Amino acid sequence: MIVTTSQAPAQELLAYAEALAKELNAPFIHRREMSVRKLMARYGGAHILVATEHELRLYERDSMDKPLVYHPSMALPKLKGMLQGNEEALIRYSGCQPGDVVLDCTAGLCSDSLVFSLAVGADGKVIALESEQLLYIVVREGLAQYKVNVQEIEQAMRRIELKLVDHERYLASLPDNSVDIVYFDPMFRQPLHESSAIGAIRSMANKHALTELTIADAKRVARKCVMLKEHSMSEEFERLGFTRCQEARGQRIAYGVIARSHNK
């Protein structure tokens, strides 16, 4: 693992990349005229993080042609639709309202966190948890820097509180009834056709199955509900005690909910 920059970087970009290298405890390498492939061949390792003037690019040895770059991906049309009055299944099934506190235990690219963030508004809070450091850094920097020409969406992006932590440990540390909604979107065991963004994170995402102990902690913490997103053919809903939400015929994504009776 090394950190570098685009070629001919300004001093500000150099300082930024060096700070990232220090955070990752990884060597910073001056790019000079070398291509990313040459850097990978010379220095080895599984990943290269490249800081450019506009974004971070995370290259993986086995997929050099498709670096991971932060993008709100499939969330963007959903968010624009919400601003036009469209109802999202994620919000309807969870009962999410303005002012709620949502804990997204499986942040990934924070696509669903963005939907929640727009729904809860400035008076609410979305805490998103990511256990993999490289993915965390790419998404953290993207949430802070990505530009959207819709102010409400950009504000929702900036409001997300992303934490580098394992969700099991974080849930165990929380008091009872301390958030409104606890949400899980684990990496599917059998992927659907997926966006290039999702494909890029699959190799580094946490693939551990949810445990009954984790769900018990989530129920203890949630005031409104615990929610799970899975493949529509998944047996995880039944295994973990979720009630499936009614879905439209032919949908390949399904939601399940465990309702809680606690109020704020």
Mean pLDDT of 98-104: 98
Q: What is the pLDDT of residue 250?
A: 67
- Give yes or no: residues 82 and 55 share one domain: no
**% of the chain beyond a pLDDT of 90:** 79
53 lies in some domain: yes
Higher-pLDDT residue of 3, 32: 3
Q: What is the pLDDT of residue 201?
A: 52
Mean pLDDT of 150-161: 97
- Give yes or no: residues 174 and 234 share one domain: yes
68 lies in some domain: no
Q: What is the pLDDT of residue 249?
A: 64
- Give yes or no: residues 54 and 88 share one domain: no
12 lies in some domain: yes
pLDDT digits (tens, 9 = 90+) for 236-251: 999 999 999 977 566 7
Q: What is the pLDDT of residue 209?
A: 87
Give the count of domains, the chain. 2
Between β-strands 253-259 and 243-244, what pairing exists: parallel, antiparallel or unpaired?
antiparallel
- Give yes or no: residues 144 and 45 share one domain: no
By the 8 A CB rule, do 155 and 197 touch? no
pLDDT value at 203 more than 60: no
70 lies in some domain: no
Residue 182 sits in a domain whose CATH number is 3.40.50.150
- The pTM is what? 0.91
Phi-psi region of 49 (alpha: psi -120 to 50; beta: other; left: phi over 0): beta
- Give yes or no: residues 205 and 171 share one domain: yes
Q: What is the pLDDT of residue 64?
A: 86
Domain carrying residue 254: 75-259
Q: What is the pLDDT of residue 189?
A: 42
- Give yes or no: residues 207 and 239 share one domain: yes
264 lies in some domain: no
Q: How far apart are CA 79 and CA 6, in angstroms?
A: 32
By the 8 A CB rule, do 104 and 90 touch? no
Q: What is the pLDDT of residue 22?
A: 97
Mean pLDDT of 193-209: 55
Last residue of a domain, one of 33, 63, 93: 63
Q: How far apart are CA 128 and CA 163, in angstroms?
A: 6
82 lies in some domain: yes
- Model confidence at 206, pLDDT cuts 50, 70, 90, reads low
DSSP string across the chain:
-EEEE-SS--HHHHHHHHHHHHHHT--B---TT--HHHHHHHH-SSEEEEE-SS-EEEEEGGGTTS-B----TTHHHHHHHHHTTPPPHHHHHHT--TT-EEEES--TT-HHHHHHHHHH-TTSEEEEEE--HHHHHHHHHHHHH---S-HHHHHHHHH-EEEES-HHHHHHHSPTT-EEEEEE-PPPSS--S--HHHHHHHTTS--PPP-HHHHHHHHHHEEEEEEEEEETT-SHHHHHTPEEPP--TT-SEEEEEEE-----
What residues are paired with 164 via a beta bridge?
130
Last residue of a domain, one of 35, 63, 91: 63
Residue 213 tokens, joined: 């102990």
- Model confidence at 62, pLDDT cuts 50, 70, 90, reads confident
Q: What is the pLDDT of residue 191?
A: 44
- Give yes or no: residues 25 and 103 share one domain: no
- Give yes or no: residues 37 and 103 share one domain: no
**% of the chain beyond a pLDDT of 70:** 90
